[in-house]
Structure 1
Amino acid sequence: MTVVPSSAAPAATAAARTVSTPRSSVAPVPSRIAVHFDPAKGQLPENVALGPDGTAYVTFAAARQVAAVTPSGGTRILATLPAPADGGVNTPVLAFALTTGIVRMADGTIYFLYASGDAATTGLYRLRPGRTPHRIAALPADGLPNGLAFEPGTRRFYLTDSVLGTISTVPLEGGRAEVWSSAPELAAAGFLGANGIKVRGDAIWATNLDHGTLLRIPLRHGRPGPVRVAATGLVGIDDFAFVGAGDRQVIAALNGPNMVVSIDVAGRSRTLMSAADGLQNPTSVAVRGSTVYVLSAAYSTGIDPNLALATLPLR
């Protein structure tokens, strides 16, 4: 997440200070807007997980919802989280309650994060098919849980907190969250720090929005190794995804600049999509085969939150 609705103007101003165009070559890919969402209903897509049939499971941030978007463009609301008593104004930095990171398991169970500024509701939630969501781990109400990933080897979730500048871990069955890393590379610098997160091979990868960096942290018997900055100059970097089986190519959303970029193993970036392709504050990406799903939340534009589909060139 980078830019917030107009109801949180101070945060939006902080984000605007960092918006610029990253240094990269341009290699556009064919794309189209597949689904338009309704900003009046708070349908500002924050994060995405894909099902095997191409259904996109998304969190609608401002609506506090989890939804399923079918390949034909139909949208079904799966859950709505209750608003905190204060309306969410105590949510750090953003001042509105929001659903954020999401993971879908093979059995259809969905796990997602809710940041509300309220100790009774902020946390990691489980949503089984046809059921109501249930909080399985409380998270600090003075933080902003944002990105979520699952590591099957240890059966643990890893999640970023963009305000506290940490990565925490929670067992699959739920329980107490433990801070896994509070390395300085995760810290914010005025707005939001650690943001997107993925598990790849023997490492945890994360982004830092304020610093415009992609980070790699080795998993060493469950403990973090030294942080390596894998790429820099990625202004407003939010969520990201890997292409293929390895970690040699990353696709990332740059929220403020309205861009999607490809990042190679040397940390070099090139632009794949821009505002000309309909991007409006892209928040998250997912890759299925040669298709890239790009969610735009229109946090600052306020016009057209959407789902775009792009096709990567075959290798």
Structure 2
Amino acid sequence: MELPESIRLLFPPEERARLDLSTIKGDASNRQYFRVTGPGGASVVCADPAFRDAAPENYPFLVVRDLFARHGIRVPELLGMAHERGLLLLEDCGDLMMQDEIPMLDRNRLAARYRQIIDLLVRIQSIRPDEKTPDTAIPFSLAFDEEKLMFEFDFFIEHALNGYFRGRLDGRAIAELRGEFLAIARLLVLPEHFVLNHRDFHSRNIMLFRDEPVVIDFQDARLGLPQYDAVSLLRDSYVRLDASLVDELKRYHFEQLVRHELTAMEWTEYLRLFDLMAFQRNVKAVGTFCYQTTVIGNRAFEPCIAPTLGYLRSSIAARPELAAAGRLLEPLIPGTSR
């Protein structure tokens, strides 16, 4: 059965002939999204082949959506599903991403919006296992452990160094760099500080629907340092914030973590781990953008490569733990030279 016909079967028979389907630009995944408009209004259909192969109660999107909703996090409503066809019928939360609003805001309104989003982030990071979602179930059974962090570093090596930037670093330099990546990963595995993270908490994954932030693309949530999502938001590959505002918002995030008793870190340790985490997260993002460009043939992410590499300069300059990796990455980072 063709996908459009499968989508129409989600709706009452008397509406199917009057439905209008249009493609929505998706994320860097195998999922497809469609806006469906009909007599009952508009809704969104997500077509995910992985949903066909997973029991609904173990499908990460549904598990995390339910967890977030139970804790008051605004997420799209689930309106229906066709598990055997890999389809989810979701509330239509519009087209306005946080990224779209940012150029329209002055400095004060921009700071206020980001504080609102950080409050939302801290609410996510406050979520703990409960009877319905125990610590043995996703997302709490997943973490940014050494294996996961190195998977992301290795993805960068494969698709950036040996793909998009092939020839910029020789084999010896790449092997040395991987050793530095391993040392950095080990600095970031601090389970005593772990909280729940969205895992991709940036301006394209926060919709503004009737001026209310709605969180999307949360299916990869897992435990990790609270800085992980803060880095995603404040070192965003799609939006570059003024450095003074970033400093202000880092302080605000830290203060909210302390207020909600989510961290025992000192401020100086928060900043150190923020810089180390920013390095890892930005390297990971570059690997994804290079993969999308060279393997998938999706060049929409290519303009994000240079700005994201550019973020690495400040992290490397701030932390001696990153100096050796920074030296090896100089041929890639804009504005640096050997």
User: TM-score range with shorter-chain normalisation?
Assistant: under 0.3
TM-score w.r.t. structure 2 length? 0.24
Return the structure number with greater helix share: 2
Return the structure number with greater strand share: 1
TM-score w.r.t. structure 1 length? 0.25
